C-alpha cells in the first residue's frame, strides 16, 4: 500500500509540474490587465501620435505569448471607427513581424459579451514558418493585441483562454 501511495504521489507531482495556470498581470498603471501562462514584463514606448504602448512577450513550453496594450492618445466613442483603426494597426504589425500569410480578419467579437468592446481575430504565418493566432480588442480608449505563436500546431483551446484574457479598466 505504501508503494502504491508513493507511486501515486510521484505521478501527481509530475502531472502538476506540467500544468500551467493563468495569472492575472496588470499592465503598468493603465488599469488594463491580462491573464497569462508565463511572466510578462512590459516595456513602455510612445507612438508617433503620442499613444502609449506597452509590449511584453514570454514563453511557456513551445508556445510564445505576447501582449501589446496601446493607450490611445485620441480615443473615440465610435466602436466602428475604433475597430477599423485597430485593423489598420494590425496591418502595421504584420509588416513589422514579417508575416507572410494571413487568413483574413474575423470581426465583430465581444470581450466577455461586453457590447462596449470590439474584437478582431486572425491566423498568420511568418517568414520563419511560425503559426500565429491573434485576437485584438478595443473599447475606443485602448487596444489590446494578444497573440500566440509556435513552429508547431497551435493548442487552440489553451491559446483561446489566453486570447480572451485581456481586461479593460473596470472589467472583471
Q: What CATH number has the domain bearing residue 137?
A: 3.40.1000.10
Range of the domain at 133: 21-167
The band of 2, judged by pLDDT with boundaries at 50, 70 and 90, is: low
Nearest to 57 by CA among 147, 150, 160, 153: 147
pTM assigned to the model: 0.88
Give the model confidence (pLDDT) of 21-61 as tens digits.
Answer: 999 999 999 999 999 999 999 999 999 999 999 999 999 99
Q: How far apart are CA 80 and CA 82, in angstroms?
A: 5
Whether residue 129 is contained in a domain is answered as yes
Sign of CA dihedral 61, 102, 160, 119: positive
Q: Where are the alpha helices (DSSP H) in 2-78?
A: 2-18
Q: What is the pLDDT of residue 19?
A: 54
Handedness of CA 86, 91, 93, 97 (dihedral sign): positive
Query: Is 9 domain-assigned?
Result: no
State the cell numbers at 31. 488599469
Neighbours of 19 (CB within 10 A): 6
Amino acid at each position: 500500500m505504501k508503494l502504491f501511495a508513493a507511486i501515486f504521489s510521484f505521478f501527481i507531482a509530475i502531472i502538476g509540474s506540467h500544468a500551467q495556470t493563468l495569472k492575472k498581470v496588470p499592465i503598468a498603471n493603465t488599469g488594463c490587465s491580462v491573464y497569462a501562462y508565463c511572466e510578462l514584463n512590459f516595456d513602455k514606448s510612445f507612438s508617433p501620435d503620442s499613444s502609449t504602448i506597452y509590449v511584453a512577450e514570454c514563453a511557456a513550453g513551445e508556445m510564445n505569448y505576447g501582449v501589446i496594450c496601446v493607450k490611445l492618445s485620441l480615443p473615440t466613442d465610435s466602436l466602428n471607427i475604433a475597430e477599423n483603426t485597430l485593423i489598420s494597426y494590425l496591418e502595421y504589425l504584420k509588416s513589422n513581424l514579417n508575416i507572410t500569410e494571413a487568413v483574413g480578419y474575423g470581426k465583430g467579437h465581444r470581450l466577455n459579451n461586453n457590447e462596449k468592446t470590439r474584437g478582431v481575430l486572425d491566423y498568420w504565418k511568418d517568414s520563419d514558418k511560425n503559426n500565429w493566432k491573434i485576437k485584438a480588442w478595443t473599447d475606443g480608449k485602448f487596444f489590446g493585441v494578444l497573440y500566440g505563436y509556435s513552429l508547431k500546431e497551435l493548442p487552440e483551446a489553451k491559446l483561446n483562454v489566453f486570447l480572451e484574457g485581456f481586461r479593460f479598466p473596470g472589467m472583471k
